[in-house]
């Protein structure tokens, strides 16, 4: 892909005319006007979906509480897997926060598309060819990471409760639990994007296959450290469930990069 600093200059100079297929000049005001239009469309989608989420609050909350309810009831105290709040307005604030987070997640395809639609006129044909697979792979990897995080949540919760000892009984606040779950899902999702970033850097020549091969040991150490930081529970089982797939993706990235670069070299002959 081209120099990121050049994208804005090309975006300002040219715009694809949908009616004639010609490229026409685009002024700064038109550029800002389209940016505003993309932002408004994203916000409309966000608020529309958030309203729906608000009224489906209970089943969504039940889904988020399911990992907690899978923990041994004897460890949770008299309230079981019920979440508590200590302010009168706490329940309403929690509902709004959960609605916003879920709404933002569900509308991610919309605002990602709006970003793409805004940047696309500044991209050449070669850059556009990589953009769609890149976005699709990014979405799939993020969902895969978040899905794994959801599956290991009960293990992480068990570990955190056990490490406090049997003399302590947890009284879990609603917002505290939402923050914990959100951090796990987001952390795993973002971490699963790292192989895609490496692949992209390899395509543009920022890193080479030989560098990736020589960096295997460093990659293992870095992945382990990041897994320990991202995993709130800190238990070895959860860390391994994050670290092992990431290292496998690292090796897969090297293989895919070799295949793509060989094809590119043959096509250039």
Rounded Cα–Cα distance for residues 234 and 237 (Å):
9
Q: Are 188 and 242 in contact (CB under 8 A)?
A: yes
pLDDT for 22 equals 47
pLDDT for 9 equals 55
pLDDT for 119 equals 75
pTM: 0.76
Q: What is the mean pLDDT of each run of 10 residues along the chain (269 residues)?
A: 51 47 60 87 94 93 91 80 89 93 87 79 69 82 89 85 80 89 87 88 86 93 87 74 89 92 82
Rounded Cα–Cα distance for residues 130 and 114 (Å):
17
pLDDT for 55 equals 93
CA distances, 24 to each of 9, 10, 97, 214 (Å): 14, 11, 44, 48
Instruction: Show the tokens assigned to 72.
Output: 């041994």
Cβ burial of 64 (10 Å; 0-12, 13-18, 19+) is buried
Place of tokens 């916003």: 100
Rounded Cα–Cα distance for residues 199 and 26 (Å):
33
> What values do phi and psi take at 198, rounded to 5?
-60, -40
pLDDT for 14 equals 47
pLDDT for 44 equals 95
pLDDT for 51 equals 95
pLDDT for 46 equals 94
């Amino acid at each position: 892909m081209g120099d990121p600093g050049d994208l804005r200059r090309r975006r300002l100079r040219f715009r694809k005319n949908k009616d004639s297929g010609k490229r026409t000049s685009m002024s700064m005001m038109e550029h800002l006007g389209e940016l505003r239009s993309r932002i408004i469309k994203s916000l409309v989608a966000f608020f529309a979906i958030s309203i729906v989420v608000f009224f489906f609050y209970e089943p969504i909350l039940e889904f988020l509480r399911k990992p907690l309810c899978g923990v041994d009831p004897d460890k949770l105290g008299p309230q079981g897997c019920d979440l508590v709040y200590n302010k009168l307005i706490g329940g309403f604030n929690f509902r709004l926060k959960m609605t916003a987070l879920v709404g933002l997640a569900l509308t991610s395809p919309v605002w990602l598309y709006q970003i793409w639609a805004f940047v696309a006129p500044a991209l050449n044909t070669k850059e556009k060819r990589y953009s769609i697979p890149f976005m699709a792979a990014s979405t799939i990897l993020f969902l895969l990471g978040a899905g794994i995080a959801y599956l290991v949540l009960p293990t992480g919760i068990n570990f955190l409760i056990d490490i406090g000892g049997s003399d302590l009984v947890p009284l879990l606040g609603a917002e505290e639990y939402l923050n914990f779950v959100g951090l796990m899902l987001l952390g795993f999702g973002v971490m699963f994007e790292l192989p895609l970033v490496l692949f992209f850097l390899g395509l543009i020549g920022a890193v080479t296959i030989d560098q990736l091969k020589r960096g295997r040991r460093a990659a293992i150490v870095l992945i382990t450290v990041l897994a320990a930081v991202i995993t709130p529970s800190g238990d070895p089982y959860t860390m391994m469930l994050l670290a092992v797939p990431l290292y496998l993706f690292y090796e897969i990235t090297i293989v895919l990069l070799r295949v793509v670069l060989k094809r590119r070299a043959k096509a250039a002959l």
